[in-house]
Amino acid sequence: YSGVAIYTRNSACAPIRAEEGITGILTPPNSSTSFCSLPEDQRIGGYPTAAQLSNFSLDAAALDSEGRCVILEFPALVLIGVYCPANRDESREEFRIGFLNALDARVRNLVAMGKRVFLTGDLNIIREKMDTAYGEEQLKKHGMTGEEYLSTPAMRMLNQLLVGGRVIGQKDDEEDPAIMWDICRAFHPNREGMFTCWDTKKNARPGNFGSRIDYVLCSLDCYNWFRDSNIQEGLMGSDHCPVYAVFKEKVEINGSEVDVRDIFSAGMFTGGIRQREWCTKDLLPLSGRLIPEFDRRQSIRDMFAQRSRQPKIGSCSSEIEASGLHKIQEPLQERSILPSVSDNLEKPNDVAPRPPQTPKEVSLEISRPNHPPKRPTVANGISTPPKKRNKIGELAKRTMPRGKGQPGKTQSSIIGFFKLDSLNAVDQEASQFCDSNPEPSAPNARAARCRTNYTK
């Protein structure tokens, strides 16, 4: 699996160009023209030349066939997000070295054009021995010395790119100087154990037995734009942890201080003051918002912030169906925990109606186990077999408490999802809701309507 995504905050930044891949051979969505063949004002530039790729048997299309790079350009910088191949076996070594050299060429070409470059992501390379807990193990496994270990092609390429990188012997090309700055290591130059990846199969994270292979790098002309950089080793959810860098409020560009918000959009901010709001015109063809699977979808924040609406009088069923509450009530109706209005109409008239129930009584009735009705008979005396109870109903019946209204140790009803303190508040809401509606023709209809307050 491989894939890269870059998230941008619409309220603060708007990239002016976006591309997929390192070589420029890929095409924008709904276009047959590759990025490197677009007009100069529509492309980011800095694509590796044929001479830079001639040392490898893999062509440009093969290097960009695995979705390992996304590049955004802002008014003042170019942001490259990558997921570099790992050295898991020898069969992938040729692809790995070819990808890394194409990445090195793209970064150097962009810097040579005078653009500020940020390189972020999982490079799958360590800089030096202190960046891994596997150093001694690797030396013994491959029979290497420390200098030979640092001279492997991937580590050598990275150290030649970075300022302060340790290169054994002469550089491969003296004309290629160190042009990138390791931001996180610059803030913590002597910190050991600053690992960003751990082997989850060996449960190596609790003992901090891992490697530092994730980076935030920047070109030298913006190395002093940051006030902090670190890792978040306590944030779980992946075998990697985040690496971050925090910009200063004002950064220096061409000898002048500029508000950092000015450099991440075209005309959205001037001097740190908002000039306009973000709009759909700022979307680029490569934006994920334009993918059909994500088009007009709610954000994660909207999902948590949305509140369920109170059912309106006279339209309870439609309101419940619209808000999705019917999905919760369908299992309750199948189990016949509360009789419906239609059930009451079919009963003989001589049956005395039950007295109105308080909301507290309704809550007890919801948690009370249901006794199945007697098997109905037809005119010829042959009884119809009852519907087969599903597994969910059987499980719920087994977990229901036997005592009247007494909570059990296991989950017995939907009320168990609510805390005791919040349940009292729900009871008060149910009482107010029922009292504000006219008395229905059947008492159980009132109980059924109150039930929606508990299933929210």
286 and 324 share a domain? no
Could you tell me how many residues make up the chain?
A: 456
In a domain, 324, yes or no: yes
In a domain, 378, yes or no: no
Q: List the binding residues.
A: 122, 124, 239-240
Q: Which range of residues forms the domain containing residue 24?
A: 17-305
166 and 254 share a domain? yes
Tell me which of 305, 334, 350 is where a domain ends: 305
How many whole angstroms separate alpha carbon 277 and alpha carbon 269? 9
Could you tell me which residue, 403 or 278, shows the higher pLDDT?
278
How many whole angstroms separate alpha carbon 366 and alpha carbon 345? 22
How many whole angstroms separate alpha carbon 111 and alpha carbon 242? 26
Terminus-to-terminus CA distance in the chain, angstroms? 39
How many whole angstroms separate alpha carbon 192 and alpha carbon 123? 19
Tell me which of 278, 305, 332 is where a domain ends: 305
How many whole angstroms separate alpha carbon 197 and alpha carbon 214? 8
| Span 117-169, pLDDT tens digits | 999 999 999 999 899 998 888 788 778 888 888 888 999 999 999 999 988 88
406 and 300 share a domain? no
Residue keyed to tokens 């793209």? 106
| pLDDT cut 70: percent of the chain above it | 64
54 and 189 share a domain? yes
How many whole angstroms separate alpha carbon 422 and alpha carbon 7? 37
215 and 347 share a domain? no
Q: Could you tell me if 69 and 81 are in contact, meaning their C-beta atoms sit under 8 angstroms apart?
A: yes
In a domain, 375, yes or no: no
Residue 314 has pLDDT above 60, yes or no: no
289 and 365 share a domain? no
How many whole angstroms separate alpha carbon 428 and alpha carbon 440? 20
Number of domain units in the chain:
2
264 and 135 share a domain? yes
Residue keyed to tokens 């508040």? 425
298 and 356 share a domain? no
Residue 454 has pLDDT above 50, yes or no: no
Could you tell me which residue, 373 or 84, shows the higher pLDDT?
84
Contacts of 4 (CB under 8 A, 6+ apart): 67, 68, 69, 70, 81, 82, 83, 121
One-character DSSP codes across 218-280: EEGGGTTSEEEEEE-TT--SSSB--EEEEE-SEEEETTEEEEGGGGGSSSSEETTEE-S---G
User: Cβ-count burial of 7 within 10 angstroms (0-12 exposed, 13-18 middle, 19+ buried)?
Assistant: exposed
215 and 321 share a domain? no
Q: Could you tell me if 178 and 161 are in contact, meaning their C-beta atoms sit under 8 angstroms apart?
A: yes
Could you tell me which residue, 53 or 349, shows the higher pLDDT?
53
pLDDT winner (highest mean) among 86-95, 269-278, 296-305: 269-278
How many whole angstroms separate alpha carbon 401 and alpha carbon 408? 5
Sign of the torsion angle spanned by Cα atoms 151, 154, 160, 162: negative
| Span 6-50, pLDDT tens digits | 999 999 999 999 999 999 999 999 999 999 999 999 999 999 999
The two tokens of residue 193 are 């154990």
In a domain, 424, yes or no: yes
Q: Could you tell me if 69 and 20 are in contact, meaning their C-beta atoms sit under 8 angstroms apart?
A: yes
The two tokens of residue 144 are 């290497």
Residue 274 has pLDDT above 90, yes or no: yes
| Closest C-alpha to 78, from 101, 44, 105 | 44
The pLDDT of residue 101 is 94
Q: List the binding residues for Mg(2+).
A: 122, 124, 239-240
Tell me which of 279, 305, 331 is where a domain ends: 305
261 and 408 share a domain? no
How many whole angstroms separate alpha carbon 90 and alpha carbon 156? 18
Pairing of strands 77-83, 117-122: parallel
Contacts of 238 (CB under 8 A, 6+ apart): none
Could you tell me which residue, 114 or 3, shows the higher pLDDT?
114
43 and 123 share a domain? yes
179 and 285 share a domain? yes
| Mean pLDDT along residues 211-230 | 97
In a domain, 377, yes or no: no
As a whole number, the mean pLDDT across the chain is: 76
Q: What's the CATH number where 82 sits? A: 3.60.10.10
Catalytic residues: 83, 122, 240
In a domain, 381, yes or no: no
Lowest mean pLDDT among 44-58, 139-153, 379-393: 379-393
In a domain, 2, yes or no: no
The CA-atom distances, in angstroms, between 74 and each of 14, 27, 58, 443 are: 7, 20, 31, 66
In a domain, 335, yes or no: yes
